[in-house]
Amino acid sequence: MDVIIPAEETRVDIKVLNSRFYAFVAPAFSVEEAKAFIIRVKGEFPDASHHVPAYLIGHGASVTAHCSDDGEPSGTAGRPVLTVLQGSGLGDVVMVIVRYFGGTKLGTGGLVRAYGDAAKAVLEALPRAAKVPTHTVMLAIPYAWFEQMRLIVAKHKGHMLDEDFGADVTLTIQFAVKHFSEFEKELQEFSNGSAEVEILETNESTILPLSVEVS
């Protein structure tokens, strides 16, 4: 199963009564990375009333979870943010909600809703990526096969990294491991067994935007 993570750092802001909430979310592949992101956001907004962090490092059954209310009443800030993260399907993710108090108290229920809404808002804007095992392969083919090979690569959700036009066309292609065997099978059928594909590298944790089909 693919691991879904943030594709890039994302920020939104919302206003609740007179308070402004800035929500930041980013990928983080270790507790140290998550803590460094939290420190960076605090440093960018040193005059804010609160900097409420939450993170999930890992995925599935092996997850390190953390949150803090950062001075808000107990259970009104960090826990709602973490709950939204836990329901998002994301792993390896860190979030910080920065609040500037606007002079009107929101009450405990209002705080829970405001922090939860800020977390939901930034996740709605967040592009996703998948952490996927991949093969990077090289394949040399005659020019006459080139257009058909592009179609076969696309059919098996390969990502063309390089095309070198020499005596033959040499293609460098990246495949999710789970799609590679079917590509190899069709390649052998198409070439009557004459084409050889070489695996250059296998990466267990390639980050692919979900705009690149990996499922």
Measured CA to CA, the distance from residue 115 to residue 16 in angstroms comes to: 10
Token couple for 176: 């999710």
Measured CA to CA, the distance from residue 121 to residue 43 in angstroms comes to: 23
Q: Which domains does the chain have, with CATH numbers?
A: 3-126 (3.30.230.30), 130-209 (3.30.70.240)
Token couple for 90: 């994301």
Give the pTM: 0.76
Helix H, strand E, coil C: the string for 9-56 is CEEEEEEECCEEEEEEEEECCCHHHHHHHHHHHHHHCCCCCEEEEEEE
User: Integer distance in angstroms from the first to the last C-alpha of the chain?
Assistant: 9
Over the stretch 13-60, which tens digit does the pLDDT of each residue have? 999 988 999 999 999 999 999 999 999 999 999 999 999 999 999 887
Ranges in the chain, pLDDT < 70: 1-2, 211-215
Task: Give the CA distances from residue 85 to residues 7, 31, 94, 110, in Å, rounded to whole numbers and listed in that order.
Answer: 15, 16, 9, 19
**Res 3: pLDDT:** 82
Among 5, 187, 208, CA closest to 88: 5
